[in-house]
Structure 1
Amino acid sequence: MNARAAEEISHAVHAAVEAAVWAPSIHNTQPWAFAVSGDEISLRADSDRRLRVGDPEGRQMLISCGAALFNVRLALRALGYESRVKVLPEPDRPALLATIRLEPANRPDDDTLSLHAQIERRRTHRAGFTTLPVPDRVIETLVRQAAAEGARLTPIRSEAAVRIVAALTGAAQDVQAQDRVLSLELIRWARPPGSGRRDGVPADAYPRSATRTQPHFAQRDYARGHNWGGDTDLAATSPGVVAVLTTPGDSREEWIGAGQALQSVLLHACGENVTAAFHTQALEMRHLREFLREELCSGEYPQMIMRFGVTLDVGGTTRRPVSEVLDGA
């Protein structure tokens, strides 16, 4: 490999890691770490950032890392490379989630470049949506993109089923709010106004007083009694389109795949000016997750509950610098 080619590859792998850190993660924990060796990127789980109470098996941590993996693949494709990915390549190193080796490819098409442009634009929403509808064609596109990554995105069209999901979310939230240890874990990742931290949920990323949707989808209480939060659109009362992301099985590989599917869906939605809100409370309680699997998910394993909609509010976000997640950066 000549010096120019080596320099181009070095630029590409660093750009891919820069894109990866913009992936969504539970409570913005950013539980990933990267290493680079020549034309290969290694993605590892940062277990120090796993939610030991809320995510004891690391399922949500691996979904978060899967979303980061999708960003790596997309960024490389936008730079004219394809990715040869090996998921869980070494069974005796469980923290090593994937290796990504660069391979030359054709020039990226306009769709790839457009999708890549959404990486830093995407935001998580934590309130209701406006009554502006999400076009059916957009939902159909999101369903196809999830399928392309090996997962299933199912919009919940039945009003009764939507009420069930909302009720389970509220029940889980009420139970979790009474759990002191779980609440302390949440507080760890709730950033007060003016905080200089580059992880966790910033105070302007959720509304100070959210308008209730019908049916109501309970939100995490990051403020915990403080007058934190930003202003919100008081007319944003629609729950939006409720959907569940599922996988046939529930292995670590499928969790990583679910994360890749999730990020593909979110970026395609963002390109249509559609935002997503997440609700994982019920999925963090084994019996509620099993109820959803059996009663609403046709036996598949629910990995994420989402609402899609249109909002005029843009919440804040922040990410750690690449130097903190890339070995030797």
Structure 2
Amino acid sequence: MNTRTSEGIAQAAREAVEAALWAPSIHNTQPWTFAVSGDEISLRADPDRRLRVSDPTGRQMTISCGAALFNVRITLMALGYEPEVRRLPNPEGPMLLATVRVRPGREPGEHTRLLYGEVQRRRTHRAGFTALPMPDPLTDALVREAAAEGAHLAPVRSDAPARVLAALTGAAQDVQAQDRQFVLELMRWARPPGSARRDGVPVAGYPTDPRRTYPQHFASRDYSRGNEWGAATEERVSTSTGLVALLCTPGDAREDWLIAGEGLQRMLLHASAYGVSAAFHTQALEMCELREFIRRHLCSGEAPQMIMRMGFVLDESESVRRTPSDVLE
């Protein structure tokens, strides 16, 4: 446990920034920068890493930064400090998403330690799941975790809406695959074999030969684009769709996007602690007409922020992260 000296606070702030780097982000773009001054951590979005074609409003960039913000918070709490958070503190500085002051706290509880222990273990999955079903109590717990941050995790428990989401995902994937700008943007973040980059999706992060999942098939991003890249597909590969879920927020402003990221990461860390991984499918949410359709017909009027599948996997995916010196201003 760090002492409450200025040196201890500075060390806690550094550890919080290091933990933030392990947050999920669209195409592993890691679109954030940090500054540490005394007892304050500043989180800024990095507009150079925003997906200008598929994320023109910066919604997905802000959700990614919200996930990083939650990692900062849970790390400080695990170290015995209290994070004092101000979200969107400067209306004239839209890239400044949050400031976090490191305040004296208390001994962390068991749940805080549980979530913190998963920060570096959690991985994004990009294939099928095993046939082992998600236990209802665990699913209910994930709903509560997201709600604790102001987000709404809505498990899709019936076939019809799951089929609709799968069909919309496939339609969006097919349209984007014919759009040269979409393809070029995706290729920017697809790392070729042997790449030394510390961002983007590595070749071991997705299967070479993605298998169709059942009962619903959700189209995957084509990171290899005709190349034989990716992790070798084993005969025992899992092909279950897993549990389909939507993450929604009551509103659709920048603060809602930030909260969605915090709720997403809290839920993902809890899931990881029980051996559950998540695969994300945001293609349909990148097309305004399809996103509006999902909002009206599948989200009861709430704003859909994420479409995902969750389940149990046999092998963990590989991931890479930039170093603290890359993101500290």
The equivalent of 1:247 in structure 2 is 249
Identify if the C-alpha distance between structure 1 residues 272 and 4 changes in structure 2 by more than 3 Å, giving closer, same or farther: closer
Pairing 1:217–2:214 present:
no
Instruction: Indicate if the aligned counterparts of 2:4 and 2:104 stay in contact, CA closer than 8 A.
Output: no
Deviation at 1:313, TM superposition (A): 1.9
Instruction: Indicate if the aligned counterparts of 2:114 and 2:270 stay in contact, CA closer than 8 A.
Output: no
Query: How far apart are the structure 1 equivalents of 2:62 and 2:245?
Result: 20
Query: How far apart are the structure 1 equivalents of 2:234 and 2:139?
Result: 24
**TM-score (structure 1 length as normaliser):** 0.97
Query: How far apart are the structure 2 equivalents of 1:4 and 1:151?
Result: 33
The equivalent of 1:313 in structure 2 is 315
SS at 2:44 equivalent: strand
Alpha-carbon displacement from aligned partner over 1:222-278 (angstroms, at most 9, x marks no partner): 000000000235441110000000001100000000000000010000000000000
The equivalent of 2:194 in structure 1 is 194
Deviation at 1:314, TM superposition (A): 1.1
Instruction: Indicate if the aligned counterparts of 1:115 and 1:267 stay in contact, CA closer than 8 A.
Output: yes
Task: Report the identity percentage.
Answer: 64
1:113-192 correspondence runs (5 A):
113-192=113-192
1:63-82 correspondence runs (5 A):
63-82=63-82
User: Counterpart of 2:90 in structure 1: which amino acid?
Assistant: E
The equivalent of 1:259 in structure 2 is 261
Alpha-carbon displacement from aligned partner over 1:157-192 (angstroms, at most 9, x marks no partner): 110111000000000000000000110010000001
SS at 1:56 equivalent: coil
Alpha-carbon displacement from aligned partner over 1:113-170 (angstroms, at most 9, x marks no partner): 1210100000000011010111111100100011000010000011011100000000
Residue-pair matches, total: 325
The equivalent of 2:53 in structure 1 is 53
Instruction: Indicate if the aligned counterparts of 1:176 and 1:182 stay in contact, CA closer than 8 A.
Output: yes
The equivalent of 1:232 in structure 2 is 233
In structure 2, which of residues 299, 303, 308 is the aligned counterpart of residue 297 of structure 1?
299
User: Counterpart of 2:224 in structure 1: which amino acid?
Assistant: A
Deviation at 1:4, TM superposition (A): 7.2
Deviates more, 1:36-45 or 1:111-120: 111-120
Structure 1: unaligned runs, 5 residues or longer: none
Alpha-carbon displacement from aligned partner over 1:264-296 (angstroms, at most 9, x marks no partner): 010000000000000000000000000000001
SS at 2:5 equivalent: helix
User: Counterpart of 2:145 in structure 1: which amino acid?
Assistant: Q
The equivalent of 1:325 in structure 2 is 327
The equivalent of 2:285 in structure 1 is 283
Structure 1 moving runs of 4+ over 3 Å: 232-235
Query: How far apart are the structure 1 equivalents of 2:261 and 2:114?
Result: 20
Instruction: Indicate if the aligned counterparts of 2:129 and 2:238 stay in contact, CA closer than 8 A.
Output: yes
Deviation at 1:193, TM superposition (A): 1.1
The equivalent of 1:95 in structure 2 is 95
1:27-38 correspondence runs (5 A):
27-38=27-38
Cα RMSD (Å): 1.0
